[in-house]
Amino acid sequence: MQTPQVVVVGSANADLVLDIDHRPAPGETVIGSDVVTTPGGKGANQAVAAGKVGGAVAFVGCVGDDDHGALLRDSLSSAGVDLTDLRTVDAPTGTATIMVTPDGENSIIVSPGANRHVTPAMLEETRSSWGAAPVVVLQLEIPVESVAVVATGARGRVVVNAAPAARLGSAVLAAADPLVVNESEAAFLLEDAGAAAGPADDTGATARALLRLGPRSVVLTLGAAGAVVAETRRADADRPSDDVRVGDEVPPADDAAEVVRVPALRVEAVDTTGAGDSFVGALAVELAAGATLERAVRLATRVAAVAVTRRGAQTSFPTLEELERAAT
Ligand code: ADP
């Protein structure tokens, strides 16, 4: 197995998906469809996405000694992910029970289970795998203190996907390069910090406001509208002359931030579950290969565009060959 270039530290869940006519009211019982069980959890999703696009990836996390744990192991190892530090612990594998109503809206109950065992102590024991990795990827479905241990202890580049929305300490924010958030997570972080988000239609201003919270760079994802990249202007930024800039650069305001918009690909979206996770996994692989953040976001955008055209999370993520086919 190759030395991992990307180490994802995070959650693994079984997604238990069922259709219901309507959400149960208090005290009510509703009959749902058969349950469809698929491998999920933000951390495992990101590792699978990264492995499928050809990255040398390892996953650090915990599952239970049960069928759901086996399902996750299978999915991760089929994507070529190194599972040396995926532990089997004495707790049920985490689950996300996802109830889908006919209008397509989801109601989700997450039971963390084994993910609670991704503790600071466990991360100290596995430091040899994430401590020196070129790129480490974090999300917020494991204990916050564990996120902080890795964010502050990693020597490589740290990608922090602040999802689901939760408070981040200043040390985690300062380590994030980039901080990756969608619009609702961005709104949460800015409100939590008491910072103004800027006008709702000015996503460049929102990305700049996020940059002022302390991360080294920001990627704000906007669903079908693509993504905005904000970075502190680097003196040594070198751009290949043939790099066609599809997006329009927003001129910097009071600070030395460079903000670039990367449009999404126009596709027929069928299921956006895991879109953000496929985006983060692909982004990490491209950063580990030495790409600029903007270039990495362009690859991530292509990967996520394929993912939304297919059902499911991990099952919908494209391989490198599928990505190349989709582009022609
Ligand atoms: P999340 O899934 O975390 O809520 P977003 O909805 O912002 O995040 O989606 C993440 C990325 O997935 C977007 O930046 C975009 O590149 C891609 N994406 C999401 N929805 C679509 C869509 N309908 N069409 C094309 N690309 C999409």
User: pLDDT digit string (tens) for 191-223?
Assistant: 999 987 777 789 999 999 999 999 999 999 999
Verify whether ligand 1 is closer than 6 Å to residue 182 (CB atom): yes
Nearest 10 degrees: CA dihedral of 240, 232, 294, 303? 160
Helices (H), 91-182: 120-125, 127-130, 144-153, 170-175
94-100/106-111 β-pairing: antiparallel
Q: Average pLDDT of the chain? A: 91
Q: For a pLDDT cut of 90, what percent of the chain falls above it?
A: 82
- Rounded CA-CA distance 203/184 in Å is 12
Active site residue 277: yes
Is the pLDDT at 311 greater than 50? The verdict is yes
Residue of the CA atom closest to atom 7 of ligand 1? 223
**Residue range 72-91: average pLDDT?**
98
Element (H, E) at 140: none
pLDDT tens sequence across 153-167: 999 999 999 999 999
User: Given pLDDT bands bounded at 50, 70 and 90, which one contains residue 81?
Assistant: very high
Please name the residue that has the structure tokens 């390069």: 177
User: Given pLDDT bands bounded at 50, 70 and 90, which one contains residue 312?
Assistant: confident
Verify whether ligand 1 is closer than 6 Å to residue 279 (CB atom): yes
Verify whether ligand 1 is closer than 6 Å to residue 278 (CB atom): no
Distance between Cα 263 and ligand 1 center (Å): 10
Verify whether ligand 1 is closer than 6 Å to residue 281 (CB atom): no
- Number of neighbours of residue 29 by Cβ within 10 angstroms: 5
Verify whether ligand 1 is closer than 6 Å to residue 272 (CB atom): yes
Distance between Cα 298 and ligand 1 center (Å): 12
Verify whether ligand 1 is closer than 6 Å to residue 283 (CB atom): no
**Residue range 15-40: average pLDDT?**
95
pLDDT tens sequence across 232-253: 876 554 444 333 344 544 444 4
Residue of the CA atom closest to atom 10 of ligand 1? 276
DSSP string over 197-218: ---TT-HHHHHHHHHTTS-SEE
Please name the residue that has the structure tokens 């040390």: 171
> What is the per-residue pLDDT for 105?
82
3-state DSSP percent of the chain in helix, strand and coil, to 5:
35, 25, 40
Count, in order, helices (H) and strands (E) of the chain.
11, 14
**Residue range 105-128: average pLDDT?**
95
**Residue range 73-89: average pLDDT?**
98
Distance between Cα 255 and ligand 1 center (Å): 28
Distance between Cα 226 and ligand 1 center (Å): 7
Is the pLDDT at 172 greater than 50? The verdict is yes
- Rounded CA-CA distance 300/281 in Å is 8
Q: Are the C-beta atoms of 133 and 103 separated by less than 8 Å?
A: no
> What is the per-residue pLDDT for 255?
58
Distance between Cα 182 and ligand 1 center (Å): 9
**Residue range 271-284: average pLDDT?**
94
**Residue range 126-130: average pLDDT?**
96
**Residue range 118-140: average pLDDT?**
97
Give all strands (DSSP E) within the chain, no chain letters: 6-9, 13-19, 36-40, 57-64, 86-89, 94-100, 106-111, 135-138, 157-161, 176-182, 217-221, 227-232, 249-250, 257-262
Coil, strand or helix: which one is 75? helix
User: Given pLDDT bands bounded at 50, 70 and 90, which one contains residue 1?
Assistant: low
> What is the per-residue pLDDT for 245?
47
- Rounded CA-CA distance 155/136 in Å is 9
Helices (H), 66-169: 67-78, 120-125, 127-130, 144-153
Q: For a pLDDT cut of 70, what percent of the chain falls above it?
A: 92
Residue of the CA atom closest to atom 23 of ligand 1? 224
Q: Are the C-beta atoms of 51 and 76 separated by less than 8 Å?
A: yes
